[in-house]
Amino acid sequence: MIYILIGGVSLDINPISRNETGSLSEYLTGVENYLAEKKAIVAANSKDRQKDKQREAQRNKLASEIDI
């Protein structure tokens, strides 16, 4: 392992090691799973924001109709 010292903190600049993360293949499989989960979360959040915008537009439309 290669370590560098930054601000008194030892940092492993090669985070993939068989003892800590398994083989490279196992590590990459874990990374792919993590990224798939992140993508699903981002997509769900995007849909929620889109629904929030639609609700806000409906409220604004109703408010403007009431003011007429």
In a domain, 5, yes or no: no
In a domain, 4, yes or no: no
In a domain, 51, yes or no: yes
| Cβ pair 1, 12 in contact under 8 A | yes
Collapse the DSSP code of 5 into the 3-class scheme (helix H, G, I; strand E, B; otherwise coil) and give the result.
Answer: strand
Could you give the dihedral angle defined by the CA atoms of residues 42, 45, 50 and 54, in that order, rounded to the nearest 10 degrees?
180
> Tens of pLDDT along 1-57?
677 888 999 887 877 778 888 888 998 999 999 999 999 999 999 999 999 999 999
In this prediction, residue 12 carries a pLDDT of: 79
In a domain, 2, yes or no: no
CA dist 46 and 64 (Å) reads 27
Q: How many domains does the chain have?
A: 1
Q: What is the maximum alpha-carbon separation in the chain?
A: 71
In a domain, 32, yes or no: yes
In a domain, 9, yes or no: no
In a domain, 54, yes or no: yes
**What is the domain extent for residue 52?**
23-68
In a domain, 15, yes or no: no
